[in-house]
Amino acid sequence: MVSEKIKDLQSTVNDVGEYVTQIIHFVDGQKRTFTGIQSDSIKQGQFTKFWLKNGSMLFINDEKVLCIEVFSEDGLG
């Protein structure tokens, strides 16, 4: 059996920083800002799930999201 290199499918948000702030724009025009998101904890499916610095976990229904703005918190203090 040949072992193949598996591509890392982690979120590209990892490239922004270890902790990020996201402004999520929903299709109905609402916006929500979430801070302290641990970028390497983001898992995508029907719901996007991620952990926050305060220990809580957040689930977002992808079907209702128009776009997401992402900002690094690294180096902020």
Question: Does residue 54 form part of some domain?
Answer: yes
Give how many domains the chain has, as a whole number: 1
Evaluate if residue 2 carries a pLDDT over 60: no
pLDDT tens digits, residue range 65-76?
A: 999 999 999 865
CATH number for position 19: 2.30.30.100
Distance CA 77, CA 35 (A): 13
Question: Does residue 41 form part of some domain?
Answer: yes
Question: Does residue 30 form part of some domain?
Answer: yes
Question: Does residue 17 form part of some domain?
Answer: yes
pLDDT tens digits, residue range 35-61?
A: 999 999 998 888 999 999 999 999 999
Angle among Cα 36, 43, 18 to the nearest 5 degrees reads 35
Q: What is the pLDDT of residue 3?
A: 47
Question: Does residue 5 form part of some domain?
Answer: no
Q: What percent of the chain has pLDDT over 70?
A: 82
Structural domain containing residue 47: 12-72
Question: Does residue 1 form part of some domain?
Answer: no
Q: What is the pLDDT of residue 12?
A: 79
Sheet-wide strand order for 19-26: 31-38, 19-26, 65-72
Question: Does residue 3 form part of some domain?
Answer: no
